[in-house]
Amino acid sequence: MFKMHMVISAIVFSSLIASATFAQQNQMTFFITSIGSGNGGNLGGLAGADKQCQTLAAAAGAGNRTWRAYLSTQGANVVNARDRIGQGPWVNAKGVRIAANVAELHSAKNSITPDTALTEKGGSPTRHDMLTGSQMDGTRFTDTMDHTCNNWTSSTTGSASLGHHDRRGLADTEQARSWNSSHPSKGCSPDNLASTGGDGLFYCFATN
């Protein structure tokens, strides 16, 4: 009887831990994708990137929210990354607040650090380049260069503006350490993204 009681207690305890973990993940409103598209900067456009955010969030128990990729586009029907991610606040998979609102997210007051910029699984990416196609204020580029791998549909031409999730750069400047606009990629293929320090990962934010 005692052994049976111990077994039942262990099962109940495990269930409580699992429930607590699920609840913690379910409150997540910000994460870095744990995997890329497999096709470099070709994410299937914004729709494909958003779908990946939604799919990964659902697998982590946070699929009850609407998720958007933090990506800008250029050319016709331009989109600013900052305008498509909701109003905040945003917390990571461990419940740590990243930013209270859009203004704070794009200021020095945000809490994106190597310890807080986590994947939907609660881990840290091994490479720091994040696809954004954005300037430091979260808006798209207005010059004629391709900063978005042809609006996230190409793995062969163009390049991508990249941020550093770990806030580390080759120089001790705000730009080099920027989480969303540190430097351009060498190209848009998986190999080109890897050569400049990335795996084709990007940020996802819940809009609600």
* Tens-digit pLDDT profile for residues 91-142: 999 999 999 999 999 999 999 999 999 999 999 999 999 999 999 999 999 9
Which helix (DSSP H) or strand (DSSP E) does residue 26 occupy? helix 2-26
**166: closest CA among 121, 125, 109?**
125
Q: pTM of the prediction?
A: 0.87
Give residue 13's pLDDT band: very low, low, confident or very high (50, 70, 90).
very low
Per the structure, the complete domain to which residue 89 belongs is given by: 35-206
Which helix (DSSP H) or strand (DSSP E) does residue 49 occupy? helix 45-59
- Pair 73, 79: CB distance under 8 Å: yes
Q: Give the position of tokens 């586009």.
A: 73
CATH code for the domain in which residue 169 is found: 3.10.100.10
* Tens-digit pLDDT profile for residues 156-194: 999 999 999 999 988 889 989 999 999 999 999 999 999
The amino acid at 1? M
Predicted pLDDT of residue 22: 45
For residue 148, with 0-12 CB atoms within 10 Å meaning exposed, 13-18 middle and 19 or more buried, which class applies?
A: buried
Tell me, yes or no, whether 57 lies in a domain.
yes
Tell me, yes or no, whether 191 lies in a domain.
yes
Q: For residues 134-151, give the mean pLDDT.
A: 97
Tell me, yes or no, whether 50 lies in a domain.
yes
Tell me, yes or no, whether 14 lies in a domain.
no
Tell me, yes or no, whether 181 lies in a domain.
yes
* Tens-digit pLDDT profile for residues 47-99: 999 999 999 999 999 999 999 999 999 998 899 999 999 999 999 999 999 99
Q: How far apart are CA 70 and CA 150, in angstroms?
A: 16
Tell me, yes or no, whether 30 lies in a domain.
no
Tell me, yes or no, whether 194 lies in a domain.
yes
- Residue 175's CB is within 10 A of a number of other CB atoms, namely 11
Tell me, yes or no, whether 3 lies in a domain.
no
Q: How far apart are CA 39 and CA 120, in angstroms?
A: 20
Is the pLDDT at 43 greater than 50? The verdict is: yes
Total domains in the fold of the chain:
1
